[in-house]
A and B are shown apart, each in its own frame.
Chain A
């Protein structure tokens, strides 16, 4: 490697730890909110994608596994996958699913629905995950959100892993909803400053 490694070059360890912790206690899933708010705040306040560029642990994990360990075909992603239609479409789909998850959490909070201790993979497959639930001091909704959020994180990791194998290591970055959203925020913030060609 050309540069000296900085502390943030090791954030892949945090991403990996996050996934592992979810196997032991689902409540750790709440920590994943950091991966939502930090990139958004950086984009909103500083108007750049420093999160993607430097701090994204998931991206680092993919480049480590796909790049250094070579678990990637290193082929170009198909044209449709990098098109605006797919990127924005996936962003909308992802957030629809996200809000549906929030609604589900609300229903558990309000007592309308009972806690479901499953992790939903790829928005379809319900994986039993009760062994990672040891009760909560607060409402069952707190645990429901954790299950829901961990589902989001696991699903996106699985998708990213599959595209890492099929295409380039960090193919996930092409359609990552957070990346698309922070880029949109940056575009909006800089819309009055001309782009250098």
Chain B
């Protein structure tokens, strides 16, 4: 499994849903309308969400485990 994972700065997230729309793995949800939540079991770290995010608050980071 990929070690690169998308990380959301939840405090700055505006919950617009742009990331959700571009995610090829459907790994992103905004269940409470507050911020995007990424399912790291599904995330492959492609970075599409980070590129799309209008607030640029998603980063792709290398995570252990």
Contacts and interface: CB of A to CB of B under 8 A. Distances in A.
A168 B30 CA distance: 20
A136 B54 CA distance: 41
A109 interface: no
Given A82-B12, A173-B16, A195 B56 contact: no
Given A183-B34, A186-B34, A195-B34, A168 B16 contact: no
B42 interface: no
Interface range, B side: 20 to 34
A142 to B, nearest CB: 33
Interface in A45-87: 47-50, 52-54, 59, 63, 74, 76-77, 82, 87
Nearest to A39: B33
A118 B12 CA distance: 38
B37 to A, nearest CB: 6
A173 B33 CA distance: 13
Nearest to B13: A183
Interface string B8-35: 0010101111101100100000111111
Contacts of A187: 34
B54 A171 contact: yes
B57 interface: yes
Majority-rule SS of B interface residues: loop
**Chain A CB within 10 A, most for which of B16, B35, B52:** B16
Contacts of B52: 168
Interface range, A side: 35 or more
A197 B15 CA distance: 15
B54 A169 contact: yes
Given A82-B12, A174-B55, A47 B17 contact: no
Given A53-B16, A63-B18, A197-B10, A77 B55 contact: yes
Nearest to B23: A2
Contact of A183 (B21, B33, B51): B33
A134 interface: no
B40 to A, nearest CB: 11
B31 A170 contact: no
Contacts of B35: 195
A93 to B, nearest CB: 17
Contacts of A87: 14
